[in-house]
Amino acid sequence: MSKKISGFSKLTKQEKIAWLVENYFNNKSEISSIIKQYWNNDEDLQLLHDDFIENTISNFYMPYGIAPNFVINNREYVIPMVVEESSVVAAASLVGKFWSTRGGFKTTVIGTTKIGQVHFMFAGNKEELETYFNQNKVELFAATASITKNMEKRGGGILEIELVDKTAKLANYYQLHVTFETKDSMGANFINSCLEAIANQFRNDSIEILMSILSNYVPECLVRAEVSCTIEELGGENPQKFAEKFYQAVKIAEIEPYRAVTHNKGIMNGIDAVVLATGNDFRAVEAGAHSYASRSGQYRSLSHCEIKDGVFKFWIELPLALGTVGGLTALHPMAKLSLQMLQKPSARTLMQIMAAAGLAQNFAALRALTTKGIQHGHMKMHLQNILNQLGATDAEKTAITSYFEKRTVSHSAVVTQFNALRKPTIHWVDFLNFEEVRAKLVTLKLDDRPVFGKMNCQQMIEHLSKVTQIANGNWPLDVYVSEDKSARRKPFLDTENELQVGFKASFLSEEPKKAMFNSIEGSIDDLIRQLEKFVTVFNEDKNRTVVHPFFGELDVEYWKKFQVKHFTHHFTQFGLV
């Protein structure tokens, strides 16, 4: 049956959800509940979110964190960050604090020019096109007057319109290359509206307009952020060595594209988080930054490093087309809060804040890579995610975090430690505490049913007695356990592990033997006698060894270890521990 649907956008939100779960999920009620549990209880606020995009059925939450202690151009900031990747906010916070005591971040805006283009085809004479363009250029500006009026009041507008010949790369292809200043607005709608007005004014029978659209490649909308200090101020055991390794790591990213991509991804970890928090377009920012990294014809690092005259300098230069008015920044309550947190910055100031956040993230990553390794900090944060997935309590988180302080974190290792922590405490039986052994055994009744196994309680007591007799030497068994098998099996006795249910030595029969004594009391008395003899025979000959039918030749210490496990196993069988 086809799952295609017509008129989906006209359905209510409830109807959209009903159609979705009916056609694509089996556990319908559960899926519907998951979708609805992320709705905001404030109906007006939820409606606001619903109207951001089309066909909205729920909200997708992302963590909203803050990175304090940033000093940018001598002004203190706390930076909001929206990101799902662990360690990003922590790294930014640490580096912000680190550089706050070393002069902070120094930033400057190099340019704020944005680009839009009218793409068209023209098969005629180029000189005629140039003449037509020059004759109509004033009219092209005039065609946008109603659109640019308010922008011009704020000091923005269209800066220039140029005719660009691209026919060497594509036959008959030309552009109108338009530069803009949009001030505190990101300006996407403004630019596109202007371009369409220009295209309509420019078109004629010989000019075929293909499209009019802004460009997210804005190489003249540039910002620079920098940190610097003396090498000694970097601190650590060997600041000179650290600076040199750091410098080489940056140089590798400048020449090696495989490294540069990951290097720049780390920068964008910091920038994108602030872009999202302020309601800006992270996809546009990403596209522009990575294009800028490829402007030489090879993809390269966005950041750079220099060591000169004992001074360490680290900086970044990249394009950032941002807005602080209009769009989502004016609609989303959290975006507005973020801008208030950043002290209501202009678009120019926001460019500088984001550049500092990106440089901080890059410094954190390179410092980790060239010292302890990137996983040291990252996996500690990942550890908390794993523990949350496992449903660990605060006490368990503290214990496991402490355990991995100097150990390598992996998912399987965390799960193993978590399970060990959750594993019930084993109450080992002190088989040489005769009074305690007797006190527990006398509580048993013949009709008590075992938790596992076939023996009744009296057969179990006599079984413990019989095995003790092997150690005592009064139940000789004709068994042989090779040294190889013994070497493999004996280490188990040194562990904290219990004997597994179903463990049975080969000398034992399939069915339990009939009880030898007339009562449970008689069997208990015999067991205590055998335990007393166990102590006596090994005291008389401390070097004595006796072959255990499964573990091989054991001395007194290993017999004691076995007896503790054996008694605990059978006491557990009848719920005595």
> Cα–Cα–Cα angle for 80, 85, 87, nearest 5°?
75
Distance between CA 389 and CA 38 in Å, rounded? Answer: 19
What's the average pLDDT block by block, 10 residues per block, for the chain (577 residues)? 86 95 92 95 94 95 96 98 93 97 98 98 97 97 96 96 98 98 94 98 97 97 98 94 97 98 97 97 97 98 97 98 90 95 97 98 95 64 83 88 82 86 83 95 93 92 94 82 91 90 72 90 95 95 92 94 95 92
Tokens of 25: 């999920």
Separation between Cα atoms, residue 89 and residue 378, nearest integer Å = 11
Report how far residue 101's alpha carbon sits from residue 91's, in angstroms, rounded to the nearest whole number. 16
Residues in the chain: 577
Closest-CA residue to 88 (of 309, 348, 265): 265
Q: How far apart are CA 196 and CA 192, in angstroms?
A: 6
3 state DSSP class of 31: helix
Which residue type, as a one-letter code, is found at position 176?
L
pLDDT value of residue 375: 58
- Structure tokens belonging to residue 233: 């101020």
Token representation of residue 250: 């940056």
**SS3 per-residue string spanning 325-394:** ECCHHHHCHHHHHHHHHCCCCCHHHHHHHHHHHHHHHHHHHHHHHCCCCHHHHHHHHHHHHHHHHHCCCH
Task: Please tell me whether residue 429 adopts helix, strand or coil conformation.
Answer: coil
> Under the phi-then-psi rule, with left for phi > 0, alpha for psi from -120 to 50, and beta for the rest, what region is 358?
alpha
pTM above 0.75?
Answer: no
502: left (phi over 0), alpha (psi -120 to 50) or beta: left
**Are the C-beta atoms of residues 307 and 109 closer than 8 Å to each other?**
no
Tokens of 270: 């910091």
Closest CA to 523 of 559, 478, 570, 564: 570
Place of tokens 């602030």: 274
List active site positions: 85, 265, 281, 378
- Cα separation, 285 vs 319, whole angstroms: 8
> Greatest CA span in the chain, whole angstroms?
123
Give the CA angle between residues 231, 235, 241 to the nearest 5°: 60
Assess contact for 355 and 222: CB atoms under 8 A: no
Q: What is the DSSP string of 160-176?
A: EEEEEE-TTTSTTEEEE
Q: What is the pLDDT of residue 507?
A: 64
Helix, strand or coil for residue 504? coil
Q: At what angle do helices 126-142 and 188-202 cross, to 10 degrees?
A: 130
Q: What is the DSSP string of 520-554?
A: HHHHHHHHHHHHHHHHHHHHH-TT--EEETTTEEE
Q: How far is residue 552's CA from residue 485's CA, in Å, rounded to a whole number?
A: 8
Distant-in-sequence contacts of 441-450, Cβ < 8 A, 24+ apart: 441/520, 441/524, 441/527, 441/576, 442/520, 442/521, 442/524, 443/576, 444/520, 444/574, 444/576, 445/520, 446/520, 448/574, 450/573, 450/574
**Dihedral of the CA atoms 262, 265, 269, 273 (nearest 10)?**
-160
As given in the structure block, the two tokens for residue 438 are 């007797």
CB 265 within 8 A of CB 366: no
Please tell me whether residue 207 adopts helix, strand or coil conformation.
Answer: strand
Query: Buried b / exposed e across 232-255, counting CB within 10 Å, b at 16+?
Result: eebeeeebeebbeebbebbeebbe
